[in-house]
Structure 1
Amino acid sequence: MNRRRFIKASMALAAACGTPGLAGLFSQSAWAADGGIADGSSRPFDFAQLQEMASELAKKTWGGAPRPLPGALTGMTPQAYNHIQYDAGHSLWNQIEGRQLDVQFFHVGMGFQRRVRMYSVDPASRQAREIHFRPELFNYNEAGVDTRQLEDHPDLGFAGFRAFKAPELAKRDVVSFLGASYFRAVDSTYQYGLSARGVAVNTFTDTTEEFPDFTAFWFETPKARDTTFVVYALMDGPSLTGAYKFTIHCEEKQVIMEVENHLYARKAVKQLGIAPMTSMFSCGTNERRMCDTIHPQIHDSDRLALWRGNGEWVCRPLNNPQKLQFNAFNDENIKGFGLLQTDHSFDNYQDVIGWYNKRPSLWVEPQGNWGKGHISLLEIPTTGETLDNIVCFWQPEKPVQAGDRLDFKYRLYWAAEPPVRSELARVYATRTGMGSFPEGWAPGEHYPETWSRRFAVDFVGANLKEAAARGMEPVITLSSGEAKQVEILYVDPFDGYRILFDWHPTSDSVDPVEMRMYLRSQGQTESETWLYQYFPPAPDKRKYVDDRQMR
């Protein structure tokens, strides 16, 4: 599954244009008097109107896949597409003196075939004007596009947008919306990583996954010194529509998005994902199977973190399994969750292309009570870093029926670290390797009759030294097998404690082993909860292999 080709689901805006009271939002061209790039006629706009638009659209049949693009844009290579650059002199807020923010648009082409419409909104008058596509907004460079083929397509639209913040205006973007309902943001490293989505539909069911599109955006014009901007979005897909409001704070070290969405179901949805995110985990300290490269680790995120409704903090390291795995973590009124990149040391990646040490984490903070449901985690086997193979979202317990309306509010924090942290000790790293031999000794020769898998879980923070002095113990729970050779070691370089244990099988089963551990001292919990899913090898593979050739 290549989750970076966002060409699955879309809509025909002609259907919206035929809806009574909504056609005025899609105006014909009339050049802007102020010289800006918004050249459409002025029409009233507000969020309530957009919600009504999405509601009415849900009562109509989905418009289907995107219409074909002009021949000059079909079959473009990634290299050719990347040659097309937006002209910064035509950026959305280019005429605002001393501006801190600006917006540019992506060209349609290659896999980005959905024609997205863009509007500029005056926040005082609440008047919106459409920004129509025209070739002079772009520099085509060496893309090999015959722009004469594009001049007869005033409805071509755009593929998405990206936002810039001073002092890097027009040089390095901090927010990007491109492809279906996918979007990303950066922290102070200006390095993109994992992606978020507007919604996930049937990601892991017996039906085909849907990828609803953002089909139109409305941008409120900010004031010169503002570092926050508001953008509204219309979503449409086979099973649902949506009205979104994004309040995007472009801060010095992070981007924070306040999201309000209203979803309208066309038909029943088997699996609805709220605040979904997609990431990549190829290999890391705990999973080395796909790390036969010069890089010690390759991943956008290394763990799923949960702050459960009952106050428990959970760390679940990610895996690159040999076969697809789906896990659901039940909860009620979850306080927060996210896919985190906690290791920011270049030495642990040695990657000068992907710069994985700079990739941000993404934390979801629900607003209000979300009720009962579960965090869904899908881990897809991948052979390398070009495929996003991790999907995570909140799934409400109540099934979605045709005609239902669902409303959610939440904040997204794109930063190196989440905005909240447990007062308990936290998991620093997870490592696995051969077991059944003392640390510091060679495996195999003296222990031929046993096989086990060793786990080393490092904890840092809080008052672990005081807890250890009182008598600290790891509480380990396994769905199968036994934990033996349990050790607690203080490790000075990271000023924390390493818990070592060997997992010994008690059967020939190769079913995943669910592991759970936390630290306790005199009945008091001292750490967050470590969860792990281990995939034991087949019985004939449970042995130490010595391939030395001495002569």
Structure 2
Amino acid sequence: MERRAFIKASMAFAAYCGAPGFATLFTRAAAAAAEADIADGGEKPFDFSILQKMASDLAVRPYVGESVALPETLATLTPQAYNKIQYDAEHSLWHDIPNRQLDVHLFHVGMGFKRRVRMYSVDAQANKAREIHFRPDLFNYHDAGVDTTQLVGQDNLGFAGFKVNKAPELTRRDVVSFLGASYFRAVDDTYQYGLSARGLAIDTFADRPEEFPDFVAFWLETPKASDTTFTVYALLDSPSATGAYRFVIHCEEKRVVMEIEKHINARKAITQLGISPMTSMFSCGTNERRMCDTLHPQIHDSDRLAMWRGNGEWVCRPLNNPQRLQFNAYADQDPKGFGLLQLNRNFDSYQDVIGWYNKRPSLWVEPMNKWGKGAIALMEIPTTGETMDNIVCFWQPAEPIKAGQSYSYSYRLYWSAQPPVRSPLANVHATRTGMGGFPEGWSPGEHYPPVWARRFAVDFIGGDLKAAAPIGIEPVITVSGGKINNIEILYVEPIDGYRILFDWMPESDSVDPIDMRLFLRTKDNTLSETWLYQYFPPPPDKRQHIDDRQMH
């Protein structure tokens, strides 16, 4: 589960092994679709229909996951040595386009990246593709300790992935990166990477080990010099599924927007299929302080899961770093959007001059076709720090995934500081929690409360709250267990919003998670998005019950 450590070392995640018989498939699939094969270095027909045919043909063949053995000089690389290998900008894919706005650099295989990824350059007007061969002179090895004599003639090594740089700093500022398994990332105008997306998730929370599909080949269309949009095609392969993907990627001034069309073919029945999966990190924040014994007030790539449900309801679910693994599925039909957001962009909230968590982008998913019935799934994994991506989110179709069936999905991904849409109602600004149960007139720090309780403060901003205040703002709070009391509503001038305070008290010794739900209304009008939260009560021996004699 140490995923984030790999990302921070520019390794992403170790991919599944490569297939030595893969070239045969390319030849057979393309020949069936266009009466020609795709050979290394040869210019051959290519378009999205050929790729879809290739993926469907691959799905009826047995999965072969054996890797091509890496030369020893690459297999034994340390993360530090691997990071010293840099692509030579003079050999960048679009280097010969004058005044270009975009350029492509390739990642070297080695270390954990054992499966070769084949790379192709596409002439879209001619519907032709030509493979890019590996050769050592494409890279600068510096003092990485690589014996390049072992790499001469190894043109079957392929590459680990690629990144795209944007003008004006074509050799320094990358905005999109595909590296490891089916993982990819993008940035906003801060040029700070954060959470990751994936092409597909399989059995993330199931009665079997999670499966990590690979992007095993990419085709990149050559753009015009003035273009800030480019198109990438990808072939996905795994023991359970194959897929054909088309990414139309817009590198805008403030954000990156990806239009994704994918066609998935199930090799076998899949217990849990994750569509548009994303992976992030939450160690501690305003609501969860258990792991924040550092100089940093908060540590997270994302602070909430936001959902715009098919029925129009807006939901905010603050993230947790639980003490035990938690999986929740929020049922929906034809969702309008969802994402993992990092809305607090204030440096003072993080005080981090290495991670720069205040610059991490949010990621929003916008379905472009009907996704039917299913659920937005959220898995939260305990972590002791910031070196592990412990948050996973994806759409899970309700229909069982059967062997031999195909599925198509279209959606947009927005990598930006703010999501492209927000609820016009009042939004959740922050969630805080701490010791509760204080009688009127008592203050924390002076006394312990006579009974154990947990205090919650949920801040709402925006919408029509101020206009509704004279009529009366009503918090509607429901919980799956225990009881609620000591409800207060306070106007908070610094945020120009309202704070809802309440105590939760247990009615049993159960330590099962408590699901909480809160929204604001006045009479029959809803005033806010819905706040969802999952609280984990401590065991009975950790709950304080102090009588008057102890306090005096």
Instruction: Decide: shared fold, TM above 0.5.
Output: yes
Among all aligned residue pairs of Structure 1 and Structure 2, give the percentage whose two residues are the same amino acid: 69
Instruction: For residue 544 of structure 1, report the CA deviation from its aligned partner.
Output: 7.3
Tell whether the 8 Å contact from 2:176 to 2:187 is kept in structure 1 after alignment.
yes
Distance 1:116 1:485, change over 3 A: same
Q: Equivalent of 1:12, from 14, 19, 25?
A: 19
Report the equivalent of 1:37.
none
TM-score, normalised to structure 1's length? 0.95
State the 4+ residue runs in structure 1 displaced beyond 6 angstroms.
none
Q: Provide, for residues 312-361 of structure 1, a one-character-per-residue CA deviation record: whole Å limited to 9, x for no partner.
A: 00000000001000000000000000000010000000000000000000
Indicate the SS of the match to 1:189: coil
CA gap 1:472/1:45 in 2 versus in 1, 3 angstroms: same
* CA distance in 1: counterparts of 2:469 and 2:20, whole angstroms: 64
Using the TM superposition, give the Cα deviation of residue 9 of structure 1 relative to its aligned residue in structure 2, in angstroms. Answer: 2.8
The separation in 1 between residues aligned to 2:164 and 2:22, in whole angstroms, is 29
* Residues 466/131 of structure 1: CA separation in 2 closer, same or farther (3 Å cut): same
In structure 2, the residue matched to 1:135 is: 136
Deviation per CA, 1:500-534: give whole Å up to 9, x if none.
00111111110000000000101210000000000
Q: Which residue of 1 aligns with 2:112?
A: 111
Q: Is the 8 A contact 2:461 2:497 kept in 1?
A: yes
Task: Name the residue aligned to 1:189.
Answer: 190
Q: 1:107 to 1:133 in 2, by over 3 A?
A: same
Mapping of residues 259-278 of structure 1, within 5 Å: 259-278=260-279
Deviations 1:125-174 (A, max 9, x none): 11111100000000000100000001131100000000011112111100
What SS does structure 1 have at the residue aligned with 2:270? coil
How far off is 1:461 after superposition?
A: 0.2
Cα distance, 1:469 vs. partner? 1.2
The verdict on how the C-alpha distance between 1:545 and 1:176 changes in structure 2, with shifts beyond 3 A counting, is farther
Structure 2 residues not aligned, in runs of 5+ = 7-12, 548-552
The 1:301–1:356 alpha-carbon spacing in structure 2 relative to 1, beyond 3 Å, is: same
Deviation at 1:466, TM superposition (A): 1.1
Aligned length: 535
Shift of 1:439: 8.5
2:525 aligns to what?
A: 524
What is the 5 A alignment of 1:117-156? 117-156=118-157
Question: Contact 1:11–1:237 at 8 Å: present in 2 too?
Answer: no
SS of equivalent to 1:72: helix
Tell me which amino acid in the other structure corresponds to 1:3. Answer: R
Q: Point out where structure 1 has 5 or more consecutive residues left out of the alignment.
A: 29-39, 547-551
1: CA distance, partners of 2:52 / 2:343:
38
The amino acid that maps onto 1:2 is E
Aligned residue type for 2:138:
L
1:457 aligns with 2:464: no
Q: Which residue identity lines up with residue 16 of structure 2 in the other structure?
A: A
**Corresponding position of 1:31:** none
- RMSD, matched Cα: 1.5
Letter in 2 for 1:27: A
Q: Could you tell me how far apart the structure 2 residues matched to 1:440 and 1:74 are?
A: 66
Q: 1:66, 1:531 → 2: CA distance?
A: 45
Residue equivalent to 1:330: 331
Name the CA shift for 1:11/1:397 in 2 (closer, same or farther; >3 Å).
farther
> Shift of the alpha carbon at 1:397?
0.4
Q: For residues 278-297 of structure 1, what are the structure 2 equivalents within 5 Å?
A: 278-297=279-298
Instruction: Give distance in 1, aligned partners of 2:406 and 2:23.
Output: 19
Could you say if the C-alpha distance between residues 41 and 454 of structure 1 is closer, same or farther in structure 2, counting changes exceeding 3 Å? same
User: For residues 364-418 of structure 1, what are the alpha-carbon distances to aligned partners after superposition, in whole Å with 9 as ceiling and x for unaligned?
Assistant: 0001110000001000001111100000000000011110100000000000011
State the SS of the aligned residue for 2:61: coil
- Equivalent in the alignment of 1:174: 175
Write the mapping of 1:91-106 to structure 2, written as runs, cut at 5 A: 91-106=92-107
Please show how residues 37-52 of structure 1 align to structure 2 within 5 Å. Answer: 40-52=41-53
Mapped contact 2:118–2:158 kept (Cα < 8 A): yes
Q: Is the 8 A contact 1:229 1:248 kept in 2?
A: yes
State how far apart, in whole Å, the 2-side matches of 1:439 and 1:304 are. 35
Q: TM-score under structure 2 normalisation?
A: 0.95
Equivalent of 1:22 in 19, 30, 35: 30
Quote the Cα distance in structure 2 between the aligned partners of 1:9 and 1:110: 13
